Each structure stands twice: as C-alpha cells, then as structure tokens.
Structure 1
Amino acid sequence: MPKLTIDGIPVEVPEGTTILQAAKQVGLKIPTLCYLEEVQAIGACRVCVVEVEGARTLVASCVAPVTEGMKVHTNSKRAREARKTVVELLLSDHDGDCQTCVRNDDCELQELARTLGIKEIRYQGEKSKRIVDETTPAIVRDTSKCVLCRRCVTVCNEVQGVGGLFPQNRGFETVVGPAFCSDLDDVVCVQCGQCAAVCPVGAIVERDQISDVFAALDDPTKTVVVQTAPAIRAALGECFGLPPGTLVTGKMVTALRRLGFHAVFDTNFAADLCIMEEGTELLTRLKKKLVDGENIALPMFTSCSPGW
C-alpha cells in the first residue's frame, strides 16, 4: 500500500485511494463542491485543489490517486488562494439574493464563501442568461443559481437511470438542463427529486406549496386532511437532530393537528395491502413462467402508489 504524508501526517492507504479519501482517513477536511461521495468524482469545480510537492500545477484531490512517497499540502497559501478565486468566480455569476433563497443557511456555496473568508465579490461583469423552469408540479429549476457541478446530471443519469439532465454548450454559455434547453415537463423527468436532493445550492429545489396549504387551512369551507407516507415517521426525526430511525409518529400527528388539519391518516395499512398484492402477483408470474412455461413479463416493477 502506498505511503505518503498529508500536511506532515504519515498515511498508508490502499492502491487507488484518492488524496481526498486519504485526507479524510486522518481527519483532514478538504473543501469540495462538485464531489458527491460514492456517486461523483470528476474534479470539475477545482475547489478541492491541493499542492503536491514536485507537481507543476495544483491537483484536484477528489480524482488524483495517491502515489508512494507523495507529499501533500492541503492548506498551503497557493491552495487557499486558488480555492478562494474559484469560489469568487462562481459567486460573480451567481444570483446573490441569498436571504430569499430556499437554501439560505443550508447552501454549500454560501458555507464555502464563509469558510474561505469571502466578504465581497471582486469580479464584476456580465452574467449568464437566467432560465427559470416551473413547468412541473414538483421541481423548480433556476439556472442563475447553478454552479455547474453536474451532481444533478450524474444522479439523474447514472443513479436514477432517467437521463433528463445534461450539460450543454461551452464556456460562458454552458447550462445544465434537459436536452435542447427544453422544459422539464417536456422530457422524461419523473420528478423523483433526487436532483434537488444533491444540488449544493438552490438551482434545483422542490416546489414550495406551503402557502397553498395554509390557504386551505384558513378556508372555513374546507375539511383538510393529511395522509402520511410510512417513511416520514422516521425521516422527519432526522431533520430535528434525532438519531436515524427514531420514530416520531405521535409528535408528527400532534404537530399536524395543532397546525389545523382536521384529520391525519396513515398509509401503512394501504401500503401493506399493496405489498401483499404485489407478492401474490409475483408468485403467480413466477409459477406461470417456471412451472407452466408461459411467456410472462419479468422482472416485475411495482409501486406502493395505489396505496394512496
């Protein structure tokens, strides 16, 4: 296994390990933006650059494999200044209306700027053309906030297998979106929301329908009910700092009732019925295929959506 030093700390890691992974192993944090652990490492943003003794240029740590005897400096003046310049350039073409952005205080670009001590935008000039796509009922895309990290492209194409987002054009004209700059509603987007989940900024977000909900709650002529998905009872707890898997069913129902909902229904029972139906259908298909020799469509794709 290659032996190297990172900021003077000796490290021994398996062959093929990147500098970023090796640094993490010894507790050193290298800032990143386009990197998405176990999903994407393309070195596009250059925020993770480090200085390697003997190398002509700075090295993107998320894609550079370690080598025997390598001496890495993650926090040298040269590396810090390069990162700061990269983030300043991103901010110069970024919609800076942070206070009204849904990702305010939960934005990776904002956190990077704070960490790197950026207090003003030194680079002024023309900004990229803004495209706001609100054509789907679930996803809103705003290119003025995009940092071209390509996380959404990778998760859409390689993880979800949908293929609805691509980088297009070159240089200052580069934009990430559906092919031929189409709207999301005109392509194969299934509105799974994974692009919004991995976006480090507010370029792709879930559509906010809170005002619609409160309008319904304030309408005395309406009876407003909630039907929760089974996963929410655990996922919601993590948002409030509880250990993963903590059930907050009672707290969730109480909170919803206090907000003014007339009733809260649980989809558990209907989801269980769906699973039973799916299992029965799968066994029937397998019997027809394997025992009776019939030409039956397999594999079988299912959804619990009928439970709703």
Structure 2
Amino acid sequence: MIINIDKDICTGCRECAEVCPVSAIEGEQGKAQEINYDKCVMCGQCVQKCKSYVSIVEHGAEVYDQKRAERNLPATVKEPLFAAYNNCNLDKVKAALADKNVITMVECAPAVRMAIAEDFGAELGTVEAKKLAAALRRIGFDKIYDTNFTADLTIMEEGTELIKRVTEGGKLPMFTSCCPAWVSFLERNYPEMKDNLSTCKSPQQMGAVFKTYGAKLDNYDPAKIFTVSVMPCTCKEFECNREEMNSSGYQDVDVAITTRELAYLIKDMGIDFNHLPDEDFDQPMGMYTGAGTIFGVTGGVMEAAIRTGYELITGKPIPAVDVTAVRGSDTFRTATLQVGDIELKVGIVTGLKNVIPVLEDIKAGKLDLHFIEVMTCPVGCVSGGGQPKLLLDSEREAAYEARTKGTYAHDAELPIRKSHENPAIVKIYEEYLLTPNGKESHHMLHTKYCIGENEFKK
C-alpha cells in the first residue's frame, strides 16, 4: 500500500485521523491506528501530521536501522522515522540511473520548487527552480523536463474542453481532474458524476509526450525511456500506475517520487544543493509560463484556465492577468466572470472534506456552475503529503502561506504568464498534437475515469 501506519511506532494520538479527509484512519485513542484502504485516497496528510516516531537517539541504532530498511530508505537518512509514512521508490530510480541501456527522463511538479530548499535549511517558501534543475542534472538524468510545461499543455486541453461543453453542450459543471486523490474519491463515492470530470489527464500523466514527442526530438527508442516524476503528492504513485495510463504505448510515467524523497536522493549522492549554480530545465519541454506555475496553489488551475479561456473565446487580451477573484483559502468560493458574451460561473473547493456538500448541492439542483476546481490538500499542492515534513503545527500555516506567496511571486516574475503563449506549447501542437482536443491530442492527453474497485487495492 502507498500510505502506511507502523503499529510498532504509533501511539494512538489520533491526530492523523483528525486531518484525514475521508475518515479512513480507524482505531481507539491510545492504541495503534489502522488505515481503511477502502476509503483511503492516498493524499498523505496523515504522513504530514504524524508525530509518533523512532529516532537513533531515543531508540538506538539497531531499531532505527531496522525500520529504515523496512521502508527502503537510503542509509544516509538519519532523521526521525514517523509512524505514518508513504512508500519510497528511490531504489527503482537508482536502478534506472545505473543502467546504461536506459534513457532517464525526469519531470518536476510546480509545487516542488516552492519547498525543496526547505530540506536544505532555506526559509519557508524559498523558490529554487534553477537549483532544482541543476540538482536533477547532477543526479544523472538524461533529460530534465518540467511538469510546468505539461501544466501549460493541460490548460490548452482543459480550457478547450470547457469551452466546448459551455458553448456546444456537455456535462456541467465540469470538474478538474488534476488531483488524483480527488478523482479517486469521486470514483468511489460519486461514480454517477464521473462524466462531470474533465477527460484531461493530470499534468504528470501528460508526460506521455516525453516518451513520444520527446523521443522523436532526440531520436530515442521509447522502449528504453524510463520517466520519473517528482511530485508534492503521495497519490501520484497510484495515478502513474493506473492501467489506462499508457497512451504513449508504454507506461506513461514509470515511477513517482515525492519532494522529500528527492531531498533524500540529493543528500545520498553528496550533492551540495545550496551551492549549485543556477541552471535551466532542458528544452523544449522545460519551458513554462506563470500559468503552469500556479497549478501548485488552490485556485491556480482555475486562474490559469481563465487566462487562456478568456482569450480563446473573445480573441482579445484578458484585461487583468491576475484573476484575483478565484484566489484565496476559503473552503468553497464561487465567482462569476464575464468572458465575452458568456457569464462564466466557477467554483473552487479547498480541501477534500469540503467537497461533499458541493456535490450534494449539485445533485439536488441547488448549484449552478460551469467549472469547479477541487484540490484534496489544505491549500493545494504546496501543502501536499509529499512535501517537506513540518514538525511543528505552528510551522504549518506559515509554510503554506510562504509557499503560496512564493508561487504567485514566481508567476509574476516570469516573462510569459499565459499557457497559450508558451512558444514550446505552440510548437508541440504545430509539430505533433495539431490542435487542442483534436484526434491526436485526445488520444495522447485524455482518458476515461471510474475504474474497478480492484484497481484501488493494488
């Protein structure tokens, strides 16, 4: 299982149960807790919250080494090991890097650059995109690509899909499909609403273009390509292993690791992160816009979609690139935006616990919206279960605020802030995908949701 609770370590404080958005953690106070995997959406918020731990100092090297080995962690890891934890996939990454017959590609999510430096002593919310690229290159990946690029690609597909549903007729409201924990929740609990989901794959899974378009650019044999994604989310491992995620002709993404695991790997390889030079991601699929960047915060997918959708509908520049009406941290907020002749009614759900009343109101016909963004984690991906561990509750709110501010600051400083203006996005459509929501792009970048229950139990 992707998320686990070690009964030898758990003290039964039940703080994990308090943050679980689907009440999947069960047990009595003071006794070891268990995860109900029929409910768990693998978001990893329990991993972030857990305070029960084993350490070398308090429990001795032998016990600590045993637990570290059970979790497949590098020997260089010396930090406390908490009862709630997620799978570590670094052994798979290392094996691919060591195999000279394998071409390794890596993609890095928007929220990772907002937090990775924290694991190397930086202040909360420090943005390190260029050192991140340099670290990935020192690790030894053959191609350093960016999930921000595929976030821009997502906007082209999702924005076009939304416009078609609104103007030509289609299932509304349309839900975002970027968050795999949210998608899993809907599939299990509201399968009758699956057609409301956008058919777009998430930015991680649009990495299918790395094994197709990317392979053609560099004359690589796609059968030899091994793609690694670095994500702020623990559920991304589940997503990349979904059986339908193979439109490249292979498993589209071979393995997902978290921000924390990347920090482990950098340290394990003796890379001095803080003194790395600034470097860029590889081109063309390392080029991204501010719109791709803001995917990491709640409301960001909505704002990015509006920036492009407005211009696709009206043929005119959006009056203000900063769509502040959809920003914020309220549990559920709505906005109405005038887009040409269309009054676009949108909603943003922050935190999965808050989506049930929204879904029930939709079913009851009490809520009239065109587009709804749902993110499982408290303030979006910057607060994901795979981000650097926040040991003190007092740090959590400050970290979320700092990472969010860092995201918007990075967006504002970028020369291009709209997905459709990314030259590399324009190029991939000209050379490969042809048109958003067309035959080629639909095959590569879209999917069908609502899988069988057996898939969740893998």
For the criterion TM > 0.5, the same-fold answer is: no
Which is greater in Rg?
Answer: 1
The structure, 1 or 2, with the larger RCO (C-alpha pairs under 8 Å, 6+ apart) is: 2
TM-score (norm 1): 0.44
Larger helix percent: 2
TM-score (norm 2): 0.31
